[in-house]
Each structure stands twice: as C-alpha cells, then as structure tokens.
Amino acid sequence: MSGTIGLLNSVLERARGENRAALIGYYPAGFPTVDEGIGAATAMAEGGCDILEIGLPHSDPVLDGPVIQTADDIALRGGLRIADVLRTVREVHAATGVPVLCMTYWNPVDRYGQERFAAGLAEAGGAGCILPDLPVEESDRWRKAAEQHGLATVFVVAPSSRDQRLAAITAAGSGFVYAASLMGVTGTRQTVSRDAQDLVRRTRAGTALPVCVGLGVSNAGQAAEVAAFADGVIVGSAFVQRMLDHRDDPEAGRAAVRELAGELARGVRTAR
Amino acid sequence: MSDVMSDGFFLPDPEGRVPDAQGYFGAFGGTFIPEALRAAVEEVAAEYEKARHDPAFAAELNELLVHYTGRPSALTEVRRFAAHAGGARVFLKREDLNHTGSHKINNVLGQALLTRRMGKTRVIAETGAGQHGVATATACALFGLDCTIYMGEIDTERQALNVARMRMLGAEVVPVSSGSRTLKDAINEAFRDWVANVDRTHYLFGTVAGPHPFPALVRDFHRVIGVEARRQILERAGRLPDAVAACVGGGSNAIGLFHAFLGDERVRLVGLEAAGHGVDSGEHAATLTAGEPGILHGSRSYVLQDDEGQITEPYSISAGLDYPGIGPEHAWLKDSGRGEYRPVTDDRAMQALRLLARTEGIIPAIESAHALAGALDLGRELGPDGLILVNLSGRGDKDMDTAARYFHLYDSPDTTEGAGA
C-alpha cells in the first residue's frame, strides 16, 4: 500500500480553493492510552481538523514545552511502541479519511530503520513525516524511501533561517512547509509572534509549497490571525492540554478537543 | 615563563585530521538539531574558526590559563598508590589543582572569550557534577555575563556544595525535574532555553558531545592537558607512557588528554566508563561498552537506548559520568580500535577514591576515581615496568557527602575500613 501524499496535497489545494487556511491538529500517540489517543485524534478530525499530525513520543523531546513533554512521558511510561503509533495512524485515517502525518524526532526512525519506518507508515495509510531534528543535509536516504512509499517529507523553517537556507530546505521538502512562528519550543502563547508573517513571506518567495504555521497557536482568534497570511494553521499543545484537563474523564476530553477543533475551524474560515 | 608560553596553551589540532567539514569523525558526529538553532550553531563555528587563527585570541586565552587558572598543572608521581598497581609507575595529571577544581575551566574560558567576540551577553550551560556549572559561573563573574545553569534535580541534591558555589558566584541554578532528572535532562532544558533566547545567549556546552562544532571546539580547548602532560612525563620518566587513562562521561577530559598522544601509536588510550552497579545490572552509564549508535543531543554517537530509539536512563554514583551518550570522537576512536574503553563499577571507583586519599593525601572527584580504578588494573596488567599517566580531572570536595554516606563517615570514626566494599 502506498502512502497518501496525494490526499494531503488535494486537501491543501481544496482549502486554498475555498480561500482559507487548512486546520492542522497535532496529537501524540499513546496519550493517555493508545485507544484513548485514537479517540482524541478522531474527535479532532470530526470537530474540523483538515489534517492530523500524530506524534511519536520520544524520551528526549528537546523541541517540546511542558505540555507535550508530559503527554510523551505518560505515553512512554505506558509502554508505547512504534507499532502502537502506526496503529493510531491507521485507525484515525480509516475512521476520518483525513490525511495523517507522523511527527517525531530522528533517533526513533533511525533506530527502527528508515526504509522500514517509511514502509510501515505508508502501509498504515500515512501521508508523510515531519522530522524537526533531521537536517536537510542528512535526509537523502529518508527522502528516497519516503518518495518511494508515497509519503511527504515536511521540513521545518524558523525565523532565524536565512533566505538561502529557506530555498535549500523548501526545494527538498514536499507536502507543505512547517513554519515555526517563533524562536522557542511548543506550547501555547498569549500572542502570535510578529516573526511569523515575515517568515511566511520569505518562505513563499522561493517555493510553491503551501506554508503552514505552527507553535503557540491555541485559540480561534489566533488561528484567524495566522490564517490571514498562511496556508495552514497548526495547533498542538492546546489539544493536549484539553485532554490533560480531563484526565479522569476521557469522554469529556474528547468532547473538549472536538469543541476546540470546531472553534479553530471557524477561526480559519473567518480570516480573509 | 617564555619557554612555557612559546609552546602555547591554546593549541587547536595542528593537523586538522578530524572532524571533516560536516563535523564527522568517521561515521560519528554531524549536526542533528532543530532548524531554529542552525544559525546559532553556524555562528559559533564561524567565530571559532576565526578565533583559532587569531593570535590575539590565543594570547588572551593563554594569559588567563597561566595567571587565572594556574597552568601548567602539576604532574605528580604517586608511588604509594602505585604499590597497589602491580608496581607500575603511575603519574597523575593534576587538573584538580586548576582554579575551580577541575579541567572544565579550560574550555569555559575559551568559550567565554568566544561569547564576548560574538557580542552575546548571556550564557547558559548544563552541568552534572556541577564542575562545569561552577567553572561557567566563574567565567561569567569574571567577564560580567548573565549566567543560567541547568542541573538535574537529583544532581542538585547530591552535589549541593556546587549548587551553593554557583549561586555564590551570581549564577541562577535551575533544577530540572523532567526525565531522569540528571545530566541528559539538563542538556534538554538548556537546548529549550537556547532556542528561545538565542539572540543574546551562548550555550556554553561542557563536553565533547553535542552538534558540530562543539566536539571539536571543546576538545581543542582541552588539548592543553595532554600537550603539557606529554612534555612533563618525557621530562620526568624519560619516555612516553605505556597507557594514558581518563574517565569518560561525555568525554572532555579524556579527549583533552588523549589527543596529544594520538600519533604515538605505542601509547594506549584507555577510557574508563561508569558501570554503576555493573553493566549486566542495567543500572550503569557505560555507553561505549553497552550502547548502540544513535542520535542524542545533536550528533550521532553511541547512546544507551532501547530497540526503538528511546534513550534509556543511565545510572552512576558519579553525577558527572551519569550520561547516556558519549562524544563522537570517542565513538570513532573505539570503532577504529585506537581507543580502549572499559567499565568501572561504583564500588571499584569508591575504593580507588579512598586508596588515593589514604596513600597520597589527594581526594579525587568520584569521576576521576573511575580512571584511578582503571589504572590499578592497567598497572597489574603491565607489571613493574609499566608507566601509566592518569588524568586526575577534578577534586573530590564536592563529593564528600556522597563519600561520607558510602563509607559511613558520619557514623563513627572507626567503621570505614570494611564499609562499602
């Protein structure tokens, strides 16, 4: 079975055709359990996420703030395995039909085997991978495997990326470009960084790929603000926080993430 | 002084053998970092490249190393200790006598000068045993830089004296309560700080691991250890040692000692890893003995990890060796066969610590005691004709609470002989 990069591309195109940004939701697999994680991610799509990113938790999440660290920790202490992550991708995609990417640090993929991981993700119906600590210079072998299996490779750009480097990164990427809105780790912020719009403008100058903005977006107002200038709005910690708030009542947690997805989906539709 | 100075203290690898332009030592090294840190790491690399060719930089660093650190550090022959090492001659390179009490100051002063050259006003660092943190806080006080030190919560407890020293020097010490609450997690937290504050902040990395250029840069600032020791032992013993030995956590004091001997093929380079309760116990930090290649903290090297690439929690009685990674140059030395790496348990290290204290009047850091335990083995293997050079990388004041508990020194004056064995 081939990966679903085609579905990812068409969803992003459709959003563009509707003159709106796509809503992309991140959720870590295995939190608080594998099945409850599948339920939460499914609810995010039902609530209005166009695209999902399933996190493969890592013991050393250097790019993540306290909320996702906590979720990763709970997932790993629960004995999460890569097979569980792939099952999450498969079941969420099957239940919702939305494109599902995997987001993780490089060591788990490297250790599992690059080709083996690409094959497994494609077989689960995955659309691609976001690997924020895999630099483009080290990515040849992975990208070959991803391409062969119909998977997108989404690279991250940052406000500190110089124009020449933006060009090199976007030339190697597929699916979309993940623009980090600010210099920092994941987590909710009070305001949208001013760097974000400038980064989107500079990134677009060198690529036709959609440019989606993540880091720090947590509510409908911020989503609308970002959706005014980006092709997609990525929200993660705010969803995870909803589930953390309802640790004792997963059903209430699912309702909360569904509701948040709905608010954000309205946000990205009221921006332009 | 002119004779000493003409040799130089700051001596980047003259032959430029490794790493390559991408930061690789054979299959190990590289730059696996988030894009947001790319520009900062490239800035460090570019500034270091300029500095290492700048005579004014070398002169200023040499001035500090002589008149502030107290270099060259002594080389001490330890005859009563050596009687327990098969009669081989044993010399200690006394990095414990440097200002701040360990080798860490060599690298810290170099990077503090780099920080100033880059126009940055704030320094962050990780620390395990607290020796790198103390050295960094010291340099920040000297240079007038803001200083934040990340330290695992477990380490703030077992190295409480060093926490107090850092705070006395004006640094903010942040206990890290995530993960295993030790050195690895302190590094994670320092990276998170750096990515958010990179404009005015330099991450003063404390060992020969991390993304390129840190493994090469930190090594170059520590090369002085081996360069001095090689000259000193030739003067004192009339020949090169059969083996040079050093403890390895991240590997900075070991690479600093080894590097001057790389070309001396007859000299064995022996690194001693922390085996904790034993390599088979699962509670250890013996990365080169029991680890597998993988990526941690920005470079490819050996790491302690499970079959799916999750980093496993290390253990050692020594906070400075309690790390699941190792510098990529050591991984390369191991795989090429040039370096030998051996595990030393907590108990053997503690016995060596007490032996040096009782025979020579020198209390080593628990980290360095691992190297001493390794030297006892090497001496017995080499016999009376053997000549061993050991890096005594730090002094043991910071470890007195741990040692007192281990040997029951708080209980009564006469219970120490059999305790902890």
The CATH number covering residue B288 comes to 3.40.50.1100
Banded pLDDT at B1 (limits 50, 70, 90)? very low
- Omega of the bond leading into A32 within 30 degrees of 0 (cis): yes
Please report the pLDDT score of residue B8 as a whole number: 56
Is residue B207 situated within a structural domain? yes
**Residue A90 pLDDT > 90:** yes
Is residue B6 situated within a structural domain? no
**Residue B9 pLDDT > 90:** no
B132 in the same domain as B249: no
Taking the Cβ of residue A76 and every Cβ of chain B, the question of whether any pair is shorter than 8 Å is answered with: yes
| Residue B93 annotated among the catalytic residues of the structure | no
Last residue within a domain, chosen from B157, B180, B214: B214
Model confidence, pTM: 0.95
B362 in the same domain as B331: yes
Report residue A210 as tokens: 């959609």
Residues 6+ apart with CB under 8 A from B193: B124, B148, B150, B201, B203
The answer to whether B372 and B353 have CB atoms below 8 angstroms apart is yes
List the single residue in B30, B178, B197 with the smallest CB-CB distance to A138.
B30
Taking the Cβ of residue A30 and every Cβ of chain B, the question of whether any pair is shorter than 8 Å is answered with: no
pLDDT 10s digits, B148-207:
999 999 999 988 999 999 999 999 999 999 888 889 999 999 999 999 999 999 999 999
**Residue A27 pLDDT > 70:** yes
Please report the pLDDT score of residue B286 as a whole number: 98
Q: Which domain holds residue A29?
A: 5-153+215-269
Residues 6+ apart with CB under 8 A from B84: B355, B359, B376, B379
Is residue A207 situated within a structural domain? no
B195 in the same domain as B156: yes
Is residue A200 situated within a structural domain? no
Q: Which amino acid is at A250?
A: P
Residue B338 burial by CB count (10 A; 0-12/13-18/19+): exposed, middle or buried? middle
B302 in the same domain as B315: yes
Mutant choice from A70, A80, A160 vs B, greatest count of B C-beta within 10 A: A160
What's the domain count of chain A?
1
Strand spans (E) along B135-267: 146-152, 172-176, 201-203, 243-248
Banded pLDDT at A187 (limits 50, 70, 90)? confident
B278 in the same domain as B130: no
Mean pLDDT of B396-402: 94
The answer to whether A29 and A42 have CB atoms below 8 angstroms apart is no
Mutant choice from B31, B33, B35 vs A, greatest count of A C-beta within 10 A: B35
* Residue reference for tokens 């987590």: A187
Rounded percentage of chain A residues whose pLDDT exceeds 70: 100
Taking the Cβ of residue A169 and every Cβ of chain B, the question of whether any pair is shorter than 8 Å is answered with: yes
Please report the pLDDT score of residue A20 as a whole number: 97
Last residue within a domain, chosen from B148, B182, B214: B214
B200 in the same domain as B86: no
| Residue A64 annotated among the catalytic residues of the structure | yes
**Residue A186 pLDDT > 80:** yes
What's the domain count of chain B?
2
B269 in the same domain as B190: no
Is residue A165 situated within a structural domain? no
Is residue A58 situated within a structural domain? yes
How many angstroms separate the CA atoms of A58 and A82, rounded? 11
* Residue reference for tokens 């508990």: B405
| Residue A53 annotated among the catalytic residues of the structure | yes
B402 in the same domain as B282: yes
Is residue A209 situated within a structural domain? no
Is residue A245 situated within a structural domain? yes
Biggest CA-to-CA distance, chain A? 49
* Domain harbouring A128, CATH code: 3.20.20.70
The answer to whether B80 and B147 have CB atoms below 8 angstroms apart is no
Is residue B3 situated within a structural domain? no
List the single residue in B192, B199, B292 with the smallest CB-CB distance to A62.
B192
ipTM above 0.85, yes or no: yes
Q: Which domain holds residue B277?
A: 75-100+222-406
Last residue within a domain, chosen from B214, B231, B264: B214
Is residue A187 situated within a structural domain? no
Is residue B5 situated within a structural domain? no
pLDDT 10s digits, A212-260:
999 989 999 999 999 999 999 999 999 999 999 999 999 999 999 999 9
Half-sphere exposure of A73 (CA within 13 A, CB side): 14
B321 in the same domain as B400: yes
B255 in the same domain as B316: yes
CB contact under 8 A, B35 and A65: no
B51 in the same domain as B82: no
Is residue B9 situated within a structural domain? no
In terms of Cα–Cα distance, which of B193, B204, B187 is closest to B296? B187
Mean pLDDT of B249-261: 97
B363 in the same domain as B290: yes
Is residue A176 situated within a structural domain? no
